[in-house]
Amino acid sequence: MSTADEPGREPAPAEEPRAEYQASLATVLREWGRLGCIGFGGPPAHIALLRKLCVDREHWLDATEFEDAISACNLLPGPASTQLAIFCAWRVRGRLGALAGGVAFIVPGLILILALSALFLAGAPPLWVKGAGAGAGAAVAAVAIQAGANLLLPSWTRAKQAGSSRRIRWVLYLLAGGAAAAAIGPWLVLVLLGCGLTELAIRHPHRAGSRGAPGTRSAPRITPLPLVMVPVAAMRAAGTAVRAAGTAAAAGGLAALAWTALKVGALSFGGGFVIIPLMRADAVGHHWMTSSQFLNAVALGQITPGPVVQTVAAVGYAAGGLGGGLLAALIAFSPSFVFVLGGARYFTSLRGNSQAQAFLDGAGPAAIGAILGSAIPLTAALTQRWQYAVLAAAAVLLLALRRGVVFTLLAAGATGLIISLAGGPLPH
């Protein structure tokens, strides 16, 4: 029996792909570029496309390894589906393949979102563009609710199976993430980390005398109090350092943009809509965008193929033109390459790591709460009555009729276009 199967032993790290690569570099560029062009629908669509290519069609990975990779990517900060695409390219063609595949997966959507940003975020866009943007932006809060709702039931089911104590903590983590997204967007990452560390401390407390001589006292059992106090304490402890970084970033436009992109790519657990409160506070606070323009940027990130995190490129475009958009994308996606290239061979063992799973069991519900909570500032950014009607209709399409995100946003944009051409009021 192999060491990977021995009780108490974690699986051995996967070997680095070597000379006998499973595909040529040209194949990686072609296939991952194709996925980058047709990957509409966010992470669920990306995962399905990668599974179809790498497991079902080409048999480059087996189903177990693919599921291990999904779990490991969900444990990492940043865009999980992008990290999965980089990992699969690493398994197929090694480090060079990971770089080529990741870039090929990202670039098609990046080009499109920068082109659309030039149209929608121009100083004086045409009336029809403003109307389409106002309509699509009005539906974004409904997309956030749907994204959170899709994650809610699986996460709750896992917590429910683990007992009443875990269920209570799950609810508290969810509420903490939602409140943070709604009220303290820039500090959201500290709350996510605090919830993850709290669950880790509860599940794996340090017991100095647990294996000592009889009569040795163990460390006191952790009570539910840290569920509230650890995120707050983390915020206070890190406050000075974060404020210093933020002050330095505020000294220059590019430095501020780089700090925003770094938070999005390296410090945000959950990806997708979790990053919205982080980006919105900086984009609007630095006056790169109005609230309405930020809604447009989020909508653009949803209707373009590839990673949703590419919304940061639209923010970068608003802050510094084409160069700002490229800089923001480069900084936001670089951590994903670093995480995968540095840790891909450990992905199988990471899935079975109880401490990593405990952290995710705390940070995960908080991230779901943050996704749902992001709908509050997104709704508050609406300024016209008809936009609330579009939001309600989008909620019906997404949650009741189960229509796709791209279809819903395009329908909302078309509604805004018609209203603008009919002389209806538009956001300033």
The encoded tokens of residue 146 equal: 């749907």
Residue type, 197: L
Angstrom distance (rounded) from CA 428 to CA 124: 11
**Co-location of 62 and 125 in the same domain:** no
Angstrom distance (rounded) from CA 263 to CA 256: 11
Confidence check: pLDDT of 338 > 70: yes
Number of domains in the chain: 2
- Dihedral angle computed from the Cα positions of residues 107, 297, 139 and 365, in that order, rounded to the nearest 10 degrees: 70
Compute CA 242 distance to the chain's CA centroid, rounded to the nearest angstrom: 21
Question: Could you tell me if residue 5 is inside a domain?
Answer: no
Residue bearing tokens 């992905």? 347
**Co-location of 144 and 66 in the same domain:** no
H helices within 139-225, ranges in order?
140-161, 164-183, 188-203
**Co-location of 25 and 152 in the same domain:** no
Least Cα distance to 35 among 135, 140, 105, 134 occurs for 105
Least Cα distance to 360 among 87, 64, 158, 86 occurs for 158
Average pLDDT score, the chain = 82
Q: Report helix angle 291-303 to 80-120, nearest 10.
A: 130
Confidence check: pLDDT of 247 > 80: no
Q: Which of 55, 74, 107 is the last residue of a domain?
A: 107
3-state helix, strand, coil in the chain (%, to 5): 75, 0, 25
Q: Which of 58, 79, 107 is the last residue of a domain?
A: 107
**Co-location of 279 and 397 in the same domain:** yes
DSSP labels for 255-318? Answer: HHHHHHHHHHHHS-TT-GGGHHHHHHHHHHHTTSS-HHHHHHHHHHHHHSSS-GGGHHHHHHHH
**Mean pLDDT value across residues 15-30:** 80
Question: Could you tell me if residue 4 is inside a domain?
Answer: no
If one counts every other C-beta atom within 10 angstroms of the C-beta of residue 135, the result is 28
Domain range enclosing 183: 108-210+218-421
Angstrom distance (rounded) from CA 329 to CA 327: 5
Q: How confident is the model at residue 13 (pLDDT cuts 50, 70, 90)?
A: low
Q: How confident is the model at residue 239 (pLDDT cuts 50, 70, 90)?
A: very low
Q: What DSSP designation does 401 have?
A: S
Q: What is the pLDDT of residues 55-105, one digit of tens each?
A: 999 999 998 889 888 878 877 888 888 999 999 999 999 999 999 999 999
Compute CA 58 distance to the chain's CA centroid, rounded to the nearest angstrom: 28
Least Cα distance to 92 among 206, 16, 188 occurs for 16
**Mean pLDDT value across residues 243-265:** 70
Angstrom distance (rounded) from CA 102 to CA 89: 7
**Mean pLDDT value across residues 279-303:** 88
pLDDT, residue 97, reads 95
pLDDT, residue 207, reads 43
Question: Could you tell me if residue 236 is inside a domain?
Answer: yes
Confidence check: pLDDT of 228 > 60: no
**Co-location of 237 and 376 in the same domain:** yes
**Co-location of 141 and 39 in the same domain:** no
pLDDT, residue 206, reads 62
Question: Could you tell me if residue 13 is inside a domain?
Answer: no
Contact of 170 with 365, CB cutoff 8 Å: yes
Confidence check: pLDDT of 266 > 80: yes
pLDDT, residue 272, reads 66
Residues across the chain: 428
Confidence check: pLDDT of 251 > 60: no
Q: What is the pLDDT of residues 116-150, one digit of tens each?
A: 999 888 777 888 888 998 999 999 899 889 888 88
Question: Could you tell me if residue 130 is inside a domain?
Answer: yes
Find all residues with CB under 8 Å of 324, minimum gap 6, and list them: 253, 254, 257, 316, 317, 318
Q: How confident is the model at residue 188 (pLDDT cuts 50, 70, 90)?
A: confident
**Co-location of 286 and 169 in the same domain:** yes
**Mean pLDDT value across residues 298-327:** 90
**Co-location of 292 and 387 in the same domain:** yes
Which of 12-21, 256-265, 409-418 is least confident?
12-21
If one counts every other C-beta atom within 10 angstroms of the C-beta of residue 254, the result is 15
**Co-location of 269 and 379 in the same domain:** yes
The encoded tokens of residue 93 equal: 């063609």
Q: How confident is the model at residue 337 (pLDDT cuts 50, 70, 90)?
A: very high
**Mean pLDDT value across residues 140-167:** 86
**Mean pLDDT value across residues 225-232:** 39
**Co-location of 258 and 274 in the same domain:** yes
**Co-location of 96 and 228 in the same domain:** no
**Mean pLDDT value across residues 352-363:** 82
Write the CA distances from 311 to 240, 299, 301, 325, integer angstroms: 28, 8, 5, 10
Q: Report helix angle 385-395 to 127-138, nearest 10.
A: 50
Q: Which of 107, 136, 168 is the last residue of a domain?
A: 107
Q: How confident is the model at residue 258 (pLDDT cuts 50, 70, 90)?
A: very high
**Can you say whether residue 173 is alpha, beta or left, with left for phi > 0 and alpha for psi between -120 and 50 degrees?**
alpha
If one counts every other C-beta atom within 10 angstroms of the C-beta of residue 6, the result is 9
pLDDT, residue 413, reads 92
Question: Could you tell me if residue 320 is inside a domain?
Answer: yes
Percentage of the chain exceeding pLDDT 90: 38
**Mean pLDDT value across residues 224-247:** 41
Compute CA 152 distance to the chain's CA centroid, rounded to the nearest angstrom: 15
Confidence check: pLDDT of 233 > 50: no
The encoded tokens of residue 409 equal: 């946003």
If one counts every other C-beta atom within 10 angstroms of the C-beta of residue 225, the result is 9
Question: Could you tell me if residue 335 is inside a domain?
Answer: yes
**Co-location of 86 and 223 in the same domain:** no
Question: Could you tell me if residue 53 is inside a domain?
Answer: yes
pLDDT, residue 303, reads 86
pLDDT, residue 193, reads 85
**Mean pLDDT value across residues 355-367:** 85
